C-alpha cells in the first residue's frame, strides 16, 4: 500500500508552502498544509510498512490530521541543539516525551495551533542511559472526537505574524507524555523492546523530509518570482508615463531601459529557477530510489545541493519579488497589485526549513570536504567534479581558476566555464583561508567562524555555477528553433547580468579582462532591447490564470484602471457614505472649534 497509489512519493505533486508545506488551495496557505506537505510524506519515507498500515489511511482520510513539530522556541536550524526528549521505558515499552525547558517548547508548526490532532515530533532519543540523537515520533496531541488536548499536552496558537493570517502556527509543550514504542518512526533506526538501539545506515536519513521540502522550495522560488514578474511586466506594458520625446504620446514604461533592467534579468532568473527546480526534483527522486536500494553514495551531495539551492533561489526570489513591487510604482504597494501577498507568503522560505546562511554553510562543508579529497589525490563526482582540475597544480602550481579561460560572451557554454572557474577559485580560496586559520588556533569551530563569510561566498558561487550550467544544458533539449533562440537570449542575459553584478570575482581570478567586462555590460543592454518584444509573451507562457495571479495590475486582458476603481469601491470603509468615526470623533471636535 505504502509504495504505490496516488499518495506515493513518485506521484506527490502538492505545491510547497509555508514551513515547507503544500497549499490546499492553489496559491494560499491553509491549516491543512503541513498535514499534506510534511506529515503524509514523512510517513511515506520514514515509517515502516506496519506503521504506514496503522497511520497512513486514517491520515489520508483526515481522521488523523497531522503536523510536523521540529522547530522549538530556542532552536531552529541547529537541529542538534533541539531540547525535546523522548526517553524509552523498557518496563512499559513506551517513550516518555518531555519539554524540559521553556526554550524546548515546539514553536511555529503550521496547523498545530487549532487544527491538528497528531504531530510528528522531533526529539532527542534516550535509551539505556544514552542519548542517540534526534529521531521522529508520531504523537497524538488531541482527543479524537472532542479535539480536546490530551493530558500532559499543552498546545495553542503562537499569535499574529508578518503574514499567514490563515495559518494557525502553534506551540506544543509535553509533560511526561507517554506513547507506545511503535510510534517511533523506525524505517531506518529502531529501538527494540529491551531498549537496544539499532543504528540507521546514515544519521542524515532522519532528515529526509527536510531535504524533500528544500527541493520543493527551489521550484516554489521559481513560481513565486514568475508570478511577480508576470504582474510587473504586464502592468509595465499597460502603464504609460512621462516622455521619451517631447510632444509624442507617453510611452509604455516597459520601453524605458531602466525598467527593462529591473525586470528582464528577473524574468530570466524565473526561467532559470524553473529548470533548476525540475532538475532538483528529479534528482531527489532518483537518489531517494538509490537510498531505498541501500546506495547512500550520493546522499551527501543531495544534502549539499538542496541546502545551497534552497538558500540561493529563495534569497534571490525574495529580493526579486520586492523589486517587482517597486517597479510597479505606487500602485504596487496596494494589495490589489497582488505582489504584497506574494511577498508575505514567500518571504518566510528564507528562514524555514533551514535559515539560508546556515544552509550555505552546510553546502560549504561539503565543498571544503570535496576540496580536501581532491587535494589528497582523490577524485570527486557530481556537480563538484570541476574541483578535480586542482590535480593539475602538481604539474603546474597555480590557482585552479588562474589557468587560461577563453570566454566568449555570446556563448552560454563558454559562460558556464567562466562560472565554473569562479566557483573553483572561491572554493579554493575559502578552503585555504580556513586552513590558515586552523594553523593559527586550536579550535576548528573558531577557525570555521572566522572564515564563514568566505565560505558563504564560495557556496553562492557554486550554486550560481550550477544554475547557469543547468539553464545552458536545457537549451540543447529544445527542438523548436524559435523557442530555443528566445530562451538562449534569456540564458545569456541571466549569465551576463550575474557577471556584471560580481565583476570583482571574475577580474580578480583573471577569468575576464577589463575590456570583456565592458563588453558584458554593453551586451546586457543589447539583450534588454532584444527581449523587449517577447517580454509579455514570455510571462504569458507561465500560464497563470487571473484567479491564481490575484492581481488587478497583472490582469491578462490589461483592463487595469477600471478594475482598480471597482476593487477600491469594495473597500469595507466604503460600505457607508459617512463613516461612524465622523459622528463619534470629528463632528464633536469640530463643534468645539
Active-site annotation, residues: 353
Residues 6+ positions from 311 with CB-CB distance below 8 Å:
350, 354, 356, 357, 359, 360, 363, 459, 463
CB distance 109 to 172 below 8 Å: yes
Residues 6+ positions from 483 with CB-CB distance below 8 Å:
none
CB distance 417 to 425 below 8 Å: no
CB distance 547 to 556 below 8 Å: no
Q: How far apart are CA 32 and CA 24, in angstroms?
A: 7
Strands (E) in 236-309, as ranges, are none
CB distance 231 to 549 below 8 Å: yes
The grid cell for 377 is: 589525490
Which residue in 519, 525, 537 sits closest to 256, CA to CA?
525
**How are beta strands 85-89 and 118-127 bridged, if at all?**
parallel
Cell 575576464 maps to which residue? 512
Q: Where are the alpha helices (DSSP H) in 126-187?
A: none
Q: How far apart are CA 159 and CA 504, in angstroms?
A: 45
Gyration radius of the chain's alpha carbons: 27
CA–CA distances in Å: residue 124 to residues 83, 88, 474: 7, 11, 43
CA–CA distances in Å: residue 302 to residues 158, 207, 372, 452: 33, 12, 19, 21
CB distance 494 to 412 below 8 Å: no
Q: How far apart are CA 22 and CA 41, in angstroms?
A: 11
The grid cell for 359 is: 544552509
Which residue in 112, 135, 241, 129 sits closest to 183, CA to CA?
135
Burial code (b: 16+ CB inside 10 Å, e: under 16) for 499-511 equals: bbebeebbeebbb
Cell 476593487 maps to which residue? 567
CB distance 504 to 480 below 8 Å: no
Q: Where are the alpha helices (DSSP H) in 376-451?
A: 412-440, 444-450
Q: How far apart are CA 88 and CA 51, in angstroms?
A: 18
Q: How far apart are CA 311 and CA 321, in angstroms?
A: 15
CA–CA distances in Å: residue 373 to residues 21, 48, 227, 360, 368: 36, 36, 42, 20, 9
Q: How far apart are CA 296 and CA 437, in angstroms?
A: 32
Query: With the C-alpha atoms ordered 521, 523, 524, 525, is the resulting torsion angle positive or negative?
Result: positive
Amino acid at each position: 500500500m505504502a509504495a504505490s497509489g496516488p499518495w506515493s512519493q513518485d506521484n506527490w505533486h502538492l505545491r510547497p508552502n509555508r514551513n515547507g508545506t503544500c497549499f490546499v488551495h492553489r496559491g494560499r496557505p491553509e491549516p491543512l498544509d503541513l498535514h499534506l506537505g510534511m506529515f503524509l510524506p514523512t510517513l511515506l519515507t520514514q515509517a515502516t510498512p506496519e506503521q504506514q498500515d496503522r497511520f497512513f489511511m486514517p491520515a489520508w482520510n483526515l481522521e488523523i490530521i497531522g503536523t510536523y513539530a521540529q522547530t522549538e522556541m530556542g532552536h531552529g536550524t541547529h537541529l542538534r541543539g533541539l531540547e525535546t526528549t523522548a526517553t524509552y521505558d523498557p518496563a512499559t515499552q513506551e517513550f516518555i516525551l518531555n519539554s524540559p525547558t521553556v526554550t524546548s517548547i515546539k514553536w511555529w508548526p503550521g496547523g498545530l495551533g487549532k487544527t491538528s490532532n497528531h504531530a510528528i515530533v522531533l526529539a532527542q532519543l534516550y535509551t539505556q542511559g544514552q542519548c542517540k540523537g534526534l529521531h521522529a515520533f508520531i504523537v497524538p496531541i488531541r482527543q479524537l472526537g472532542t479535539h480536546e488536548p490530551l493530558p500532559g499536552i499543552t498546545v495553542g496558537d503562537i499569535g499574529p505574524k508578518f503574514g499567514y493570517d490563515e495559518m494557525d502556527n502553534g506551540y506544543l509543550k509535553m509533560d511526561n507524555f507517554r506513547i507506545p514504542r511503535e510510534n517511533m518512526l523506525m524505517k531506518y533506526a529502531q529501538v527494540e523492546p529491551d531498549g537496544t538501539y539499532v543504528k540507521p545506515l546514515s544519521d542524515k536519513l532522519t532528515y529526509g523530509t527536510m531535504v524533500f521540502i528544500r527541493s520543493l522550495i527551489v521550484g516554489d522560488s521559481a513560481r513565486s518570482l514568475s508570478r511577480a514578474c508576470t504582474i510587473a511586466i504586464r502592468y509595465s506594458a499597460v502603464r504609460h508615463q512621462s516622455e521619451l520625446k517631447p510632444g509624442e504620446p507617453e510611452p509604455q514604461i516597459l520601453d524605458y531601459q531602466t525598467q527593462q533592467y529591473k525586470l528582464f534579468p528577473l524574468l530570466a532568473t524565473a526561467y532559470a529557477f524553473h529548470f533548476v527546480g525540475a532538475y532538483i526534483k528529479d534528482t531527489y527522486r532518483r537518489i531517494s530510489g538509490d537510498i531505498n536500494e541501500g546506495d547512500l553514495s550520493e546522499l551527501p551531495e543531495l544534502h549539499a545541493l538542496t541546502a545551497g539551492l534552497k538558500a540561493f533561489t529563495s534569497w534571490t526570489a525574495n529580493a526579486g519579488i520586492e523589486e517587482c513591487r517597486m517597479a510597479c510604482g505606487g500602485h504596487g504597494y496596494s494589495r490589489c497589485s497582488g505582489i504584497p501577498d506574494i511577498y508575505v507568503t514567500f518571504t518566510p522560505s528564507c528562514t524555514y526549513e533551514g535559515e539560508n546562511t546556515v544552509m550555505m554553510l552546510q553546502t560549504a562543508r561539503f565543498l571544503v570536504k570535496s576540496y580536501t579529497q581532491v587535494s589528497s589525490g582523490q577524485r570527486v563526482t557530481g556537480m563538484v567534479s570541476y574541483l578535480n582540475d586542482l590535480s593539475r597544480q602538481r604539474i603546474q602550481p597555480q590557482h585552479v581558476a588562474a589557468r587560461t579561460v577563453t570566454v566568449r560572451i555570446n556563448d552560454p557554454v563558454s559562460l558556464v566555464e567562466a562560472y565554473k572557474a569562479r566557483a573553483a577559485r572561491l572554493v579554493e580560496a575559502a578552503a585555504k583561508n580556513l586552513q590558515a586559520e586552523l594553523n593559527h588556533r586550536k579550535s576548528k569551530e573558531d577557525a570555521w567562524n572566522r572564515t564563514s563569510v568566505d565560505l558563504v561566498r564560495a557556496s553562492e558561487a557554486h550554486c550560481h555555477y550550477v544554475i547557469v550550467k543547468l539553464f545552458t544544458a536545457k537549451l540543447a533539449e529544445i527542438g523548436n528553433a524559435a523557442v530555443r533562440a528566445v530562451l538562449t537570449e534569456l540564458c545569456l542575459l541571466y549569465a551576463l547580468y550575474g557577471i556584471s553584478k560580481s565583476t570583482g570575482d571574475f577580474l580578480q581570478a583573471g577569468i575576464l579582462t577589463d575590456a570583456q567586462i565592458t563588453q558584458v555590460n554593453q551586451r546586457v543592454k543589447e539583450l534588454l532591447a532584444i527581449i523587449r518584444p517577447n517580454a509579455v509573451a514570455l510571462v504569458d507562457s507561465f500560464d497563470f490564470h487571473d484567479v491564481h495571479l490575484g492581481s488587478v495590475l497583472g490582469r491578462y486582458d490589461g483592463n487595469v484602471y477600471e478594475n482598480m476603481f471597482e476593487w477600491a469601491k469594495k473597500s469595507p470603509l466604503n460600505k457607508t457614505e459617512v463613516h461612524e468615526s465622523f459622528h463619534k470623533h470629528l463632528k464633536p471636535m469640530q463643534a468645539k472649534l
